[in-house]
Structure 1
Amino acid sequence: MSDIYQHFRKDEEPFIDQVLEWKRIVTEQYRMKLTDFLDPREQVIVTSVIGRSDEVKLAFCGGYPEAERKRAVLYPEYIEPDAEDFQLQAWEVAYPEKFASIEHRELLGSLMGIGLKRQKFGDLIFSGETRQFICSEDVADFVFSQLTHVGRVKVSLEKIPLSKLKIPEQDVEMRDDTVSSLRLDALCSSVSRQSRQKAQTLVKNGLVKVNWKMVDDPSYSLAEGDMLSVRGFGRFTLKSIEGKTKKGKWRVTFAKQK
């Protein structure tokens, strides 16, 4: 089992340990295990670690099919989870739309400001002037009582069913490329369509995030499912790594959010 670590980055080992513990709980206690919200890279890791196990099955749900952040349920083969097992609560934010606006970073910052970790929240959904988000049921009452302002804007929350989520039409551009390595500077060069030297400058200046965390090491290695954000150039998901060409370059596919 220790060989599993060689397929992942060193900084991912604590999360892998957590996934293995979830698997142990399911196999030894014969019950479902519900996780917090996972980002796309964490979903890839869980899927890889659980694999095609006969003992433990895996399902994801984030409130709607295209959700970026999802909760996972690990379960014995004789149990079939349903939608209620994911324990999701959707909210709509009421605010004076004619006199104020709420940006994504402001809503996320206010949610983090009430003292809960990011893993308790799923996607934040912006459609026109409508602001909605999803959280886990176990913190729903706390969120309702604590989130009274977003920045300086006074807000109130209304519980809504998942069916009332106003999902904007997905506008995603798929981009295939070949890169010399899976280093952060090489992939930044690809998505920004700049030289590798300029890409290194972006990284070193703290303008690049991987999975929502600033990374300033150009040699940092990316993996399938990573979310790459380059200030001024947008957000990209490394959807797939298809192996190497005859010249030794990596074939990769990015999904760019327009």
Structure 2
Amino acid sequence: MKLKYNIDFVEDKYIKSNLKKAISVLEKSFYTHKEVSSFFLNPFEIKIIKDIARLNSIDIVFLSPNIKSERKIFIANPYSSNLNSKDYFSVLEFTHKDIRHPDVLGSLMNLGLERNDIGDIFIEYGICEFVILNKEKNFVKFNLSKIKDESINLKFKEDNTMQNLDIEYNEFMGFVSSLRLDNIISELINLSRAKAKNIISRRLVKIDYQTIDNPSKEVQEGSLISIRSYGRFIFDEIKGLSKKGNYRIKYRKYK
């Protein structure tokens, strides 16, 4: 019996490659009926793996350091229903003066880690917390001593949890002639369609975590849109049509 799945609909090549790696982990559990654990997955990948596990009747649990975490690992065919996150990943913390999310991620990847080794990164009020797979925890603890120009002192969090970052938004209303991606981007960041197309063609736009380089792709209500250097947005819904036939849309921008 073979594992049943279909990921042909996935447009982002990197995510498709990542999913194939995750599916190979799932296959190991499927054939051996033994517990296996994965690397970190984003919400789009999590949904697909969850669907594949359900389709193939594989018992699967997702673990993260708090309920609002974006990135999670899965445990397939867990030995126990009482899983301890410390057996799979660790949360480290440090204080800082002026360090941002990209600085932390960049420093970790400069150590040779893959993005999949790293979970969420929390930064607020001079405190940074990040999650790392256990196979890399000691290496990171003893090798990450500086980020940008700041010396840091990493410590493991005893409770292995992360603070919840309450996301705040600014709400907006606007008009677009169609739901094409270039039209939506043009409205979100107040640029011409030509410039919006250029941003898309440079692969700087993600929809629900997938990089999209097709300007004519239709954007669905509820989509999370990330634009490099401009931030993240949620296209909430269509509120109606104008007299000229344009869509009146509601959207939010992460503060």
| Preserved contact between residue 206 and residue 225 of structure 2 (Cα < 8 Å) | yes
On the 8 A contact 2:12/2:211 being kept in 1, the answer is no
> CA offsets per residue over residues 57-89 of structure 1, 9 Å max, x none?
22222200101111122226x853513376121
Q: What is the aligned partner in structure 1 of residue 215 from structure 2?
A: 218
Q: Check 1:201–1:13 CA distance in 2 against 1; reply closer, same or farther (3 A cut).
A: closer
The alpha carbon displacement at 1:230 in A equals 1.8
| In structure 1, distance between residues paired with 2:220 and 2:27 | 26
Q: 1:145 is matched by which residue type in structure 2?
A: F
Distance 1:91 1:54, change over 3 A: same
1:43 counterpart = 2:43:
no
Provide the C-alpha distance between the structure 2 equivalents of 1:175 and 1:71, rounded to a whole number of angstroms.
34
Residue identity opposite 1:137 in structure 2: N
Q: 1:16 to 1:221 in 2, by over 3 A?
A: farther
Q: Share of identical aligned residues, percent?
A: 22
Which residue number in structure 2 is paired with residue 245 of structure 1? none
Q: Name the CA distance, whole Å, in 2 between partners of 1:90 and 1:253.
A: 37
Task: Tell me whether 1:157 sits opposite 2:154 in the alignment.
Answer: yes
Q: 1:108 to 1:256 in 2, by over 3 A?
A: same
Gapped regions of structure 1 (runs ≥ 5): 243-248
For 2:137, the equivalent position in structure 1 comes to: 140
C-alpha contact 1:71 1:86 (8 A) present in aligned 2: no
From 225, 228, 233, the equivalent of 1:228 is 225
Task: State the partner residue of 1:72.
Answer: 74
User: Contact (CA 8 Å) 1:61, 1:86: kept in 2 or not?
Assistant: no
TM-score if structure 2 supplies the norm length? 0.74
Shift of 1:129: 0.9
- C-alpha distance 87-238 of structure 1, shift in aligned 2 (>3 A): farther
- Partners of 1:179 and 1:79 in 2: CA distance: 54
| Equivalent residue number for residue 115 of structure 2 | 118
* DSSP-derived class of the 1:4 partner: coil
CA contact 2:37–2:75 (8 Å) conserved in 1: yes
The amino acid that maps onto 2:47 is V
Distance in 2 (alpha carbons) for counterparts of 1:74 and 1:152: 41
Partner of 2:57: 55
For residues 7 and 220 of structure 1, what CA distance do their matches in structure 2 show? 14
Q: Using a 3 Å threshold, how does the CA distance of structure 1 residues 58 and 191 change in structure 2: closer, same or farther? A: farther
Please report how far the alpha carbon of residue 160 of structure 1 lies from its aligned counterpart in structure 2 after TM superposition: 0.7
TM-score between the two structures when normalised by the length of structure 1: 0.73
Q: Distance in 1 between matches of 2:12 and 2:168?
A: 34
Tell whether 2:27 aligns with 1:30: no
- What is the Cα-based RMSD across aligned positions, in Å? 4.1
Contact kept, 8 Å, 2:4 with 2:52, in 1: the verdict is no
Query: Could you tell me which of 179, 182, 185 is aligned with 1:185?
Result: 182
Offset at 1:132?
A: 1.2
Matched, 1:83 2:84: yes
Q: Secondary structure at the match of 1:134?
A: strand
In the TM superposition, residue 206 of structure 1 has moved relative to its aligned partner by: 5.7
Instruction: Out of 125-134 and 188-197, give the one that drifted further.
Output: 188-197
1:168 aligns with 2:168: no
1: CA distance, partners of 2:87 / 2:172: 33
